[in-house]
Structure 1
Amino acid sequence: MIRIAVCEDEQILLEQLTGHIKNILNKHSVIFSIEAYTNGNVLLSRGTFDIVFLDIAMKPLNGLTLAKKLRARGDKSKLIFITAHRQYAIDAYDVQAFHYLVKPVDIKKLETILWQLCSSLTGEYEHTLAIRQGTAVIRIPFGQILYLEAMNRKIHLHKNGEFLPYYGKLDELEPTLPDTFFRCHRSYIVNFDHVQHYKKEEIWLDNEVVLPLSRRRYQAFGLAFMYYLKNRGDVF
C-alpha cells in the first residue's frame, strides 16, 4: 500500500486535490491510503508517508519549512509542492522535492506525476521489507538485512550497526522473504548475502557475528547456500 499525505491550509483546495488524487489512483487500481491536513505541525506529529503533497504558502508553518523539518528527521518521502508562484521551484529542489505543481493544478500533469511515482515505489517495495514501529512504517532494503531474530514476541531486524525490533512472528515472515533468506534456526533467519562460512552448528557473517545453525536444518542450509552461490556465479 502506498501512503499519501496532503497538506493544504485552504479546506476547499485540500478537498479538491485529495479528490483528484483518489480518482486518479482508483482509475489505475493502485492500493493506497490518503490523509489530509490543514496544519503542517499536525502532519509532523504523524508517522511517515511515501508521498507528501505540500502547499508552500501555508500558515503557521509554510511548506518549505515543513519539508526541511521532515528531511531533518530522516524522512525519505517523495515531496510534491503545490504553489501559485513558479519562483519557489529552486527552493523546492533544496529539499530534494520530486516535483512541484502550479495552482490551479493541471489534472493531466498530476496524473503523470502520480503514475511515475507509484510505478517507481512499487518497484522499490518489491526489494524491501516493511516494518511498523509505532505509527511509522519503515522500509529496509533486503540487501541491508543481516539476519532476523525472534525474541520476546518480537522480531529483531539486524542491519549494520543497529537492530530494529517490531512485533511479528518468523513463521509468518519467512514465506514472504526472497530465497536469499534461510531459516537456519527456529529463532533466526539469515541473509545469504552476508554469510562468510559455516560449519555444523554455526554460521559466520561478514560482520563477525556468529549465528546458530540447528542440526536438523544443516543439510537443507548447505544445499540452499550452494544453490545461492551458483546463481550468483561464485561456484560452477
Structure 2
Amino acid sequence: MFHVAILEDDPRQAESLARMIEASPCASRVEIVGVAQPAVSLAEAFGDGVDILFVDIQLGEARATGIDLVDALAPRDGSMQVIYVSGYLEYASDVYRTKHTWFLPKPVEQSALDAALERAIDNLEQAQQQPLLVRASGSLIQILPQNIVYVESERRKVRIHERGRVIETYAKMSDMEASLPRQFARCHKSFLVNMSFISELRARDLVLLDGTVLPVSQRCHKALQRCFIDHVGRSV
C-alpha cells in the first residue's frame, strides 16, 4: 500500500482532494497519511513515508510556491511521485522545473485525479522492480527484488536468499535496506524480510510461505506489524 500526503493551504480544498482520493478506483492501494498546511508542517508532506504528494502551487501567503518546495525538499530519485494541483494554468509550464507525475487544474475532476493517481502508482510499482547489481565470487550478479525472500547479515557479509539460491556478498545491512523497495522490512537487526513471503507473524518470530522461521526482535515487532498490515492492505 502506498502512502499519500496532501499539501494545500485551503482546508476545504484539502478535504475535497482527500474525498476524491478515497472515491478513486485506486483507493484500495493507497492510504492518506497527512493533510498539511504550509504554516503547520512541511515535514509531514515530505516525510520518508510519503510515496505520492498532491501539492498546491499557490500556498496563500507563503513565500515559496509548491514548485519551490518540491524543488528544494522532494527526493530526486523518483521515490516520491508529485502531483501538482492549481487553479492557475500559467504554472502549467513552470512545473517542468521539477520532476513530477501530473498537473491537475482546479476545479479537479474525478476522472483526471483517477488517471493521475493510477500513473503515480504505476511509476512506483515499476521502480520497485528495478534490479540490484551485486558482486559475489568475482562476478556481477543481477537480482530482481521480487525474487528475494529475505536477507541476513553476519559481520561484514550479507546472504541474499532468493527462491532457489543464496548469494553471499560483502555489504552493509543498512545499504541493502536502503536499496530495496518498501515491501522489505526489518524483523531483526540481522534480518530483512520480503513481506510478500510472510505466512504468519507471531510475537517472537515469523513463518515464511516455505515454512522457514525467522526471528522477530522486540524492538522491530511493532513497526513490522504496522508495515505488514499496510503491505497486505486489509486486516480483520
Q: Deviations over 1:36-80 (max 9, x none)?
A: 111277133532421111100004242111111124676741111
1:48–1:75 contact (8 Å) kept in structure 2: no
Residue 143 of structure 1 is matched in structure 2 by 132
Query: What is the match of residue 53 of structure 1?
Result: 54
CA contact (8 A) 1:7 1:14 kept: yes
1:80 to 79, 83, 107: 83
Deviation string, structure 1 residues 171-230 (Cα, Å, up to 9, x no partner): 6627858xxxxxxxxxxxxxxxxxxxxxxxxxxxxxxxxxxxxxxxxxxxxxxxxxxxxx
Amino acid at match of 1:84: G
- How many pairs align? 157
1:32 and 1:72 mapped to 2: Cα distance?
20
Identity rate, percent: 21
The Cα of 1:21 is off from its aligned counterpart by 0.7
CA-CA distance at 1:120 after TM superposition: 3.4
Q: Gapped runs of 5+ residues in structure 2?
A: 137-150, 156-171, 198-236
TM-score if structure 2 supplies the norm length? 0.55
* 3-state SS in 2 of match to 1:36: strand
Question: Cα 1:91–1:76, aligned 2, differ >3 Å: closer, same or farther?
Answer: farther
Q: Which residue number corresponds to residue 103 of structure 2?
A: 100
Letter aligned with residue 2 of structure 2: I
How large is the Cα RMSD of the aligned pairs?
Answer: 3.5
Partner residue, 1:168? 187
In structure 2, relative to structure 1, the CA distance for the partners of 1:158 and 1:112 (3 Å cut) is closer
| Bigger Rg over Cα | 1
Assess if the C-alpha contact under 8 Å between 1:8 and 1:54 holds in 2: yes
Alignment partner, residue 31 of structure 1: 29
Distance in 2 between the 1:122 and 1:163 partners? 15
The 3 A distance-change label for structure 1 pair 47 and 108 is same
Structure 1 unaligned regions, length at least 5: 128-140, 178-236
After TM superposition, give the deviation of residue 142 of structure 1 in Å: 4.2
**Other-structure match for 1:221:** none
Give the AA of the match of 2:50.
F
Deviation at 1:20, TM superposition (A): 0.3
Q: 1:167/1:146 Cα in 2 relative to 1: closer, same or farther (>3 Å)?
A: farther
**Residues of 1 paired with 2:72 and 2:112: CA distance?**
27
Please state which structure has a larger fraction of its residues in helix: 1
The amino acid across from 2:65 in the alignment is N
C-alpha distance 87-36 of structure 1, shift in aligned 2 (>3 A): same
SS in 2 for 1:20: helix
If asked which structure has higher relative contact order (CA below 8 Å, sep 6+), I would say 2
* Structure 2: distance between partners of 1:73 and 1:31: 23
> 2:19 & 2:120 partners in 1: Cα distance?
18
